[in-house]
């Protein structure tokens, strides 16, 4: 009965347009009131929210948010686009490939899908429009490609999963995200290649060697951030949390003193935006952790695990069911609360099947990344449509083959553990 009340209150509030964090908090309170008085229920929620965000690992989130803001405004996106264009822009449909590669590179530096959509899309969508590409296709490429930044480190959502899972190494998750993230990017590039051939998209002008060299030299300081952060983590020089501080210092130095596209007066607005973003994320984490606690208290994860095992003892079927549920959840819920709520529910099921928490985390994040670009609540979908000046109904059709490519990548990651575990094992981050 208590679980029914939680689901009912959450759905009603969500349909009414109440912010997701408040939906989580109020539905958790409604469930608690079935077993305790009002004051103890509110006190328990406050304690669980405070405890949920009282984690050293979460300190990396505001740091990577600030570094992402610096990168989005500091000229890094434009230099990565110029580098990608000089590298591959001359092939038929080359601007679509440039879009995908630029989103992957920027996402891997900033760790933010929204930042990648706005920063890369702001340059690439108008550029592709001028070259004769269909504007709905241009927006679809940007929106789906931006999701790779949630897998290719540094990634805030992988930090959130590490906290929700109760002990998976952030460093191992960061390294594990590379192959699946690149796999998604390659799948999207394959779709772009087919689309370009069908619609006779033009080829760009081949960049002379001196232009390629100049663009490479200009982009190298930005690309070095990947080496600095991941190399430092793998070498054990600093932790993933400390890497966030390094990213802020390096991105700030690059944007202010090297590229000179941010001045000291811009920092106030940039920091205020970062504080706003961090506050929203932390509030979501707090309310999600409170809901996760009451679900565990009511023994919901164990009940779900037992039900799935009874339903089928075939690991292939169970993992397929988990993926289907998460795909539906991703359509209606943002990725952060989805990870925090469903990790304690499905991780025990995955563990029963012999799936490592690291492998499950990468599968889950890749799955929910698809939800970021699906209506009705896909956050980066709205950003992409706003930049392209088109509607969601127009963009969905060219996105269908891209959804298929992402789901195929998801299936490969789900059933081939080596795609997630080989690199962390090579670097000695897991046994």
Residues 6+ apart with CB under 8 A from 316: 415
Contact of 254 with 223, CB cutoff 8 Å: no
Contact assessment for residue 335 and residue 22, using Cβ atoms and an 8 Å cutoff:
no
C-alpha torsion sign, points 229, 231, 232, 234: positive
- DSSP letter for each residue of 133-145: --HHHHHHHHHHH
Kindly state the tokens that stand for 157.
Answer: 């959502």
Q: Is the pLDDT of residue 157 over 80?
A: yes
Least confident range of 37-51, 77-91, 329-343: 77-91
Confidence of residue 421 (pLDDT cuts 50, 70, 90): very high
What phi and psi, each to the nearest 5 degrees, are found at residue 203? -90, 150
Residue 167 falls in which region: left (phi positive, over 0), alpha (psi -120 to 50) or beta: left
Calpha distance 271→288 (Å, rounded): 25
Q: What is the pLDDT of residues 71-81, one digit of tens each?
A: 777 777 778 88
Q: Please give the mean pLDDT across all residues of the chain.
A: 85
Q: Which residue has the tokens 């690059």?
A: 254
Looking at the whole model, is its pTM more than 0.75? yes
Write the DSSP assignment of 115-181 as a string of letters.
Answer: HHHHHHHHHHHHHHHHTT--HHHHHHHHHHHHGGGGTSSS-HHHHHHHHHHTS--HHHHHHHTHHHH
CA 33/CA 29 separation, integer angstroms: 6
Q: Where exactly are the structural domains of the chain?
A: 56-426
φ, ψ at 130 (rounded to 5°): -65, -30
Cβ neighbour number for residue 165 with a 10 Å cutoff: 18
User: Using alpha carbons only, how large is the chain's radius of gyration in Å?
Assistant: 22
Per-residue confidence (pLDDT) for residue 356, from 0 to 100 = 94
d(CA 268, CA 428): 41
Q: How many CA atoms lie within 13 A of 62 on its CB side?
A: 15
Separation of CA 104 from chain center: 12
Question: How sure is the predictor about 116, in pLDDT bands with cuts at 50, 70 and 90?
Answer: confident
Neighbours of 77 (CB within 10 A): 27
Residue with the larger pLDDT of the pair 323 and 311: 323
**What is the pLDDT at residue 256?**
87
pLDDT band at 11 (very low <50, low <70, confident <90, very high): confident
Which residue carries 């094992």 as its tokens?
425
Closest CA to 63 of 240, 287, 263, 314: 240
Do the Cβ atoms of 69 and 115 come closer than 8 Å? Answer: yes
Which 3-state string (H, E, C) describes 252-272?
HHHHHHHCCCCCCCHHHHHHH
Is 58 within 8 Å of 285 (Cβ atoms)? yes
Structure tokens at 145: 């490609």
Residue linked to tokens 């900033």: 110
pLDDT: which is higher, 305 or 181: 181
Give the Å distances, CA to CA, from 419 to 29, 229, 370, 410, 413. Answer: 40, 22, 18, 11, 6
Strand partners, 92: 203
Q: Can you list the pairs that 39-46 forms with residues at least 24 positions away whose Cβ atoms lie under 8 Å?
A: 44/290, 45/290
For the record, the structure tokens of 260 come out as: 């000179």
Average pLDDT on 108-131 reads: 79
Task: Find the length of the chain.
Answer: 431
- Residue 177 near residue 359, CB atoms below 8 Å: no
Compute the half-sphere exposure of residue 169: CA atoms within 13 Å on the CB side of its CA.
18
Contact 113, 380 (CB under 8 A): yes
Question: What pLDDT, on the 0 to 100 scale, is given for residue 111?
Answer: 67
Cα–Cα distances in angstroms (integers) from residue 16 to residues 20, 282, 333, 335, in the given order: 11, 23, 14, 20
pLDDT confidence tier of residue 422, bands split at 50, 70 and 90: very high
């Amino acid at each position: 009965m208590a679980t029914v009340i939680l689901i009912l209150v959450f759905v009603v509030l969500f349909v009414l347009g109440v912010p997701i964090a408040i939906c989580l908090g109020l539905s958790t309170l409604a469930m608690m009131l079935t077993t305790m008085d009002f004051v103890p229920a509110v006190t328990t929620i406050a304690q669980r929210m405070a405890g949920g965000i009282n984690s050293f690992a979460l300190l990396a989130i505001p740091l990577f948010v600030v570094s992402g803001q610096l990168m989005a405004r500091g000229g890094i996106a434009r230099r990565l686009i110029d580098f990608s264009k000089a590298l591959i822009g001359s092939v038929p449909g080359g601007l679509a490939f440039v879009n995908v590669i630029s989103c992957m590179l920027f996402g891997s530096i900033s760790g933010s899908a929204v930042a990648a959509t706005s920063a890369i899309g702001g340059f690439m969508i108008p550029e592709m429009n001028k070259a004769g590409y269909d504007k709905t296709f241009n927006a679809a490429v940007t929106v789906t490609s931006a999701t790779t930044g949630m897998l290719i480190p540094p990634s805030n959502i992988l930090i959130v999963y590490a906290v929700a899972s109760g002990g998976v190494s952030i460093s191992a998750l960061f390294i594990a995200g590379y192959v699946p993230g690149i796999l998604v990017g390659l799948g999207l590039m394959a779709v772009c290649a087919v689309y370009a051939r069908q619609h006779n998209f033009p080829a760009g002008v081949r960049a002379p060697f001196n232009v390629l060299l100049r663009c490479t030299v200009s982009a190298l300081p930005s690309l070095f951030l990947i080496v600095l952060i991941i190399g430092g983590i793998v070498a054990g020089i600093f932790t993933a949390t400390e890497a966030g501080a390094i990213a802020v210092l390096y991105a700030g130095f690059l944007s202010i003193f090297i590229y000179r596209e941010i001045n000291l007066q811009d920092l106030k607005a940039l920091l205020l935006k970062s504080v706003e973003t961090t506050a929203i994320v932390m509030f979501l984490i707090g309310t999600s952790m409170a809901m996760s606690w009451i679900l565990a208290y009511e023994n919901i994860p164990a009940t779900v695990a037992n039900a799935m095992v009874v339903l089928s003892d075939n690991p292939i079927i169970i993992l397929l069911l988990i993926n289907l549920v998460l795909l539906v959840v991703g359509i209606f819920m943002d990725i952060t609360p989805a990870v925090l709520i469903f990790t304690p529910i499905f991780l025990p099921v995955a563990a029963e099947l012999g799936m490592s928490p690291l492998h499950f985390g990468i599968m889950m994040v890749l799955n929910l990344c698809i939800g970021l670009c699906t209506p009705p609540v896909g956050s980066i979908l709205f950003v992409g449509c706003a930049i392209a000046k088109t509607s969601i109904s127009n963009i969905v059709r060219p996105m269908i083959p891209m959804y298929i490519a992402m789901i195929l990548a998801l299936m490969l990651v789900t059933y081939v553990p080596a795609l997630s575990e080989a690199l962390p094992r090579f670097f000695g981050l897991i046994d």
